[in-house]
Amino acid sequence: MKYFYITTPIYYVNAEPHLGHAYTTLVADVENRFHKMCGEDTFFLTGTDEHGDKIVQAAQKEGMEPKEYVDRISKMFQEAWPLLNIKPDHFIRTTDPEHIRTVQYVLNKVYESGDIAFREYEGLYCFGCERFYMERELIDGKCPDHGTEPVRLKEKNYFFLMSKYQDWLIDHIKKNPDFITPERYRNEVLSFLKEPLDDLCISRPTSRLTWGIPLPFDENFVTYVWFDALINYLTAVGYPDGDEFKKRWPAVEHVIAKDILKPHAIYWPCMLKAIGVDPPRRIHVHGYWQIKDQKMSKSLGNVIKPKDLVDTFGVDATRYCLLREMAFGLDASFSQKAMTIRVNADLANDLGNLVSRIITMLYKYRKGVVPQPDDYESIDRELISSALSLKGQWLNLMEEFSFHRALSSIWEFINKVNKYIDTVAPWALFKEDKDSLRLNTVLYVMLESLRFIAIYIYPVMPETSEKIFDALGLNKSEILTKNLTYWQLLPVGSKVNKIKPLFPRMELEDKNKDKKNKIEKDKSKKKEGKKMEDSADKADKKDNELIDISLFQKVDLRVAQIIDAEKHPNADKLLKLKVKCPDERTIVAGIAEAFPNPKELIGKQVIVVSNLKPVKLRGIMSYGMLLVAKDKEGIHLTSVLTPAEPGTKIS
């Protein structure tokens, strides 16, 4: 059995979870699901880091006792993850009794082996980071993370003699090119290790701090928060005893952001070496989510809450966008607008339309029943081979945490399927011969492609993947238990279920307005007064907007019959329609996104404004305007309820 053990940092409970924490935890969830799909025995750990100065200060600010405070914030972290469909196997807290026992066990072990010394130390201490800094690490004499001047402190403390493991660590990193990924962070650590390492101060006197794990060999000190926190990865799998530890530890992989590279890539392997435990298998380091070029962080107060994103975009769209927008390892800028554009283009348009298109056609042409494919033609074989060869690429990219590339290769396939449909034109095959065997094959290829897409998107979008499996009448639990990436597994003769649109299109401006209103509301203490002003505004607006009947009578509305429809050669969003109302004329309409196959419009009756001044739209003259309704689900044509003579006036 292959094992996979993935961890996130345990987050400080000095503030609520934000998008940065959500991203790391999401990455771990996606990898966990991916490895589970690959048949591995997986374990996914997250949790909260609850000791130290920072936490005491945060509790004091709230006028609470540390324990009461950490319970409250830890709960917020625990409750945040299900909202994003993130499913850890265990949630650890450093205040858990078994963790305290493990930390004391490790401390005793290191102490007994002679790797801990008691010394007086004078150095520059940053209270924000809870650690001493070397002069060379500071930027203009200030902490690189907090921008504050560290305080000179002189005190007696216990030190972990980390420097003695420096050569071993350099050797380990050089021999294991995958140990720290992406490579830029490996290089960063190696370059840091060119200078001699300092020993690590691992205690804090109880005169200064009591909220910590007491040193088992000196009750006047508590453990330095980093020495305490890192050990959580061992506690969770039952170190030092038991099978769980033996089988899981060799498979452990940590996900972190670059802010905590040093404790993970330097302190941690040395600590493990001191107790005779192997270093983690891999450490995956990502960049920062930024807002306007600044790191998103609780201290800067520029955070986005995961819940707000889920409320606005939905779970799977949020998961998709976060993984698609950040190249793992590099910083990324967060923007609600960019996310909206992505949701509309990739999810509502490419994927959502494809799913409803295929299922609608199956209903229209084969009453929703999966047909028996006939011989495959070369165009089919090409698509099938794309579906199959995507697997190797997908496995590699997911394995190396290249989520944005993995997703982009799945979307390349989605676009190939859309193109395939446009080329084989099932509607034309049906028109020619409604029992056509070729149409059976084409429909089968489309459905199987959909099944492959559902498999590949599963780790990132589990809910959507399961919805597609449900629609295809398949057992969704098999996504995790069986290898389904073989062609022609969809049972012939089975019934496919209708499906609601997966991703409604989002309005760019409205969303921003909502968001702005929300921020305004949060800020404003005078909520009620503001609400009243708003509704007064609305009432005024309504009065101003009423029109006289004579104005309406100037608009000539007609029933028009579409006699031809094609894509506009110069604009993705436009269609060129030929309509009869009753004269034949061209109307250019902005409805291309709703009708990727424009020929489906032929024969439909619509309502048009027929007396508009002609305008040239991207080089084509348009004589009139189509009336449509637009909502979350997309564009809806307007028409008469029973067929009318083309050109009939609407009054």
Among 111, 125, 288, 328, binds ligand ME8 (CB under 6 A): 288
DSSP state of 139: B
Cβ-based nearer residue to ligand ME8, 260 or 627: 260
Among 202, 256, 270, 461, binds ligand ME8 (CB under 6 A): 256
What is the closest distance, in whole angstroms, from the C-beta atom of residue 409 to ligand ME8 in the complex?
24
Give per-residue burial for 151-163: e unless 16+ CB within 10 Å, then b.
eeeebebbbbbbe
What's the CA dihedral at 257, 260, 264, 268 to 10 degrees?
Answer: -160
456 close to 319: Cβ distance less than 8 angstroms: no
- Pattern of binders to ligand ME8 over 151-190, x per CB under 6 A? ----------------------------------------
295 binds ligand ME8 per the rule CB under 6 A: yes
- List binders of ligand ME8 among 14-73 (CB under 6 A): 20-21, 23-24, 49
Among 6, 10, 271, 414, binds ligand ME8 (CB under 6 A): 10
Stretch that binds ligand ME8, among 225-233, 241-249, 352-360, 447-455 (CB under 6 A): 225-233
Give residue number: closest CB to ligand ME8. Answer: 20
Cβ-based nearer residue to ligand ME8, 188 or 584: 188
406 binds ligand ME8 per the rule CB under 6 A: no
What is the closest distance, in whole angstroms, from the C-beta atom of residue 67 to ligand ME8 in the complex?
18
229 binds ligand ME8 per the rule CB under 6 A: yes
What is the closest distance, in whole angstroms, from the C-beta atom of residue 20 to ligand ME8 in the complex?
2
Hey, which bits of 329-475 come out as E strands? 332-333
Among 4, 239, 289, 458, binds ligand ME8 (CB under 6 A): 289
327 binds ligand ME8 per the rule CB under 6 A: no
149 close to 142: Cβ distance less than 8 angstroms: yes
47 close to 92: Cβ distance less than 8 angstroms: yes
What is the closest distance, in whole angstroms, from the C-beta atom of residue 130 to ligand ME8 in the complex?
10
Stretch that binds ligand ME8, among 123-131, 189-197, 253-261, 308-316 (CB under 6 A): 253-261
Backbone angles phi, psi at 83, to 5 degrees: -60, -30
What is the closest distance, in whole angstroms, from the C-beta atom of residue 57 to ligand ME8 in the complex?
14
What is the closest distance, in whole angstroms, from the C-beta atom of residue 24 to ligand ME8 in the complex?
3
Please list the residues that pair with 399 across neighbouring strands: none
DSSP H or E segment with residue 102: helix 97-112
What is the closest distance, in whole angstroms, from the C-beta atom of residue 110 to ligand ME8 in the complex?
17
Nearest CA to 504 out of 647, 343, 637, 394 is that of: 343
Cβ-based nearer residue to ligand ME8, 146 or 567: 146
Stretch that binds ligand ME8, among 255-263, 568-576, 597-605, 614-622 (CB under 6 A): 255-263
Structure tokens at 98: 């078994």
Question: Within the chain, how many helices (H) and strands (E) appear?
Answer: 24, 26
- Pattern of binders to ligand ME8 over 183-222, x per CB under 6 A? ----------------------------------------
Backbone angles phi, psi at 246, to 5 degrees: -60, -45
Among 55, 126, 234, 257, binds ligand ME8 (CB under 6 A): 257
Cβ-based nearer residue to ligand ME8, 12 or 132: 12
Cβ-based nearer residue to ligand ME8, 296 or 354: 296
Among 30, 70, 296, 557, binds ligand ME8 (CB under 6 A): 296
Hey, which bits of 259-343 come out as E strands? 282-286, 289-291, 294-295, 332-333
What is the closest distance, in whole angstroms, from the C-beta atom of residue 259 to ligand ME8 in the complex?
5
The Cα–Cα gap between 646 and 651 comes to 15
What is the closest distance, in whole angstroms, from the C-beta atom of residue 132 to ligand ME8 in the complex?
17
Question: CA–CA distance from 141 to each of 134, 151, 262, 384 (Å)?
Answer: 10, 11, 20, 61
Stretch that binds ligand ME8, among 10-18, 84-92, 379-387, 594-602 (CB under 6 A): 10-18
Cβ-based nearer residue to ligand ME8, 23 or 320: 23
What is the closest distance, in whole angstroms, from the C-beta atom of residue 230 to ligand ME8 in the complex?
5
Side chain identity at residue 527, one-letter code: K
Cβ-based nearer residue to ligand ME8, 24 or 235: 24
The Cα–Cα gap between 608 and 627 comes to 6
Structure tokens at 15: 């503030």
By DSSP bridging, strand 131-133 and strand 116-126 are antiparallel
297 binds ligand ME8 per the rule CB under 6 A: yes
Among 11, 221, 452, 469, binds ligand ME8 (CB under 6 A): 11
DSSP string covering 233-279: HHHTTTTTSHHHHHHHGGGEEEEEEGGGHHIIIIIHHHHHHHTT-PP
Among 55, 92, 126, 230, binds ligand ME8 (CB under 6 A): 230
Any idea how long the chain is? 651
CA angle 50, 130, 209 (to 5 degrees): 65
What is the closest distance, in whole angstroms, from the C-beta atom of residue 229 to ligand ME8 in the complex?
4
259 binds ligand ME8 per the rule CB under 6 A: yes
Looking up tokens 């949060």 gives 522
Stretch that binds ligand ME8, among 7-15, 102-110, 521-529, 641-649 (CB under 6 A): 7-15
81 binds ligand ME8 per the rule CB under 6 A: no
Stretch that binds ligand ME8, among 71-79, 226-234, 567-575, 606-614 (CB under 6 A): 226-234
The Cα–Cα gap between 210 and 150 comes to 21
Cβ-based nearer residue to ligand ME8, 254 or 558: 254
The Cα–Cα gap between 362 and 426 comes to 10
**Count of residues touching ligand ME8 (by CB under 6 A):** 21
186 close to 173: Cβ distance less than 8 angstroms: yes
333 close to 290: Cβ distance less than 8 angstroms: yes
The residues assigned a catalytic role are 18, 21, 126, 129, 143, 146, 295, 298
Q: Enumerate residues 6+ apart whose C-beta is below 8 A from 262.
A: 189, 192
499 close to 355: Cβ distance less than 8 angstroms: yes
Please list the residues that pair with 584 across neighbouring strands: 580
Stretch that binds ligand ME8, among 175-183, 190-198, 292-300, 608-616 (CB under 6 A): 292-300
What is the closest distance, in whole angstroms, from the C-beta atom of residue 66 to ligand ME8 in the complex?
15
Three-state SS sequence of 470-528:
HHCCCCCCHHHHCCCCCCCCCCCCCECCCCCCCCCCCCHHHHHHHHHHHHHHHHCCCHH
Backbone angles phi, psi at 458, to 5 degrees: -50, -50
Side chain identity at residue 215, one-letter code: L
Cβ-based nearer residue to ligand ME8, 12 or 503: 12
Residues near ligand ME8 (CB under 6 A): 9-12, 20-21, 23-24, 49, 229-230, 232, 256-257, 259-260, 288-289, 295-297
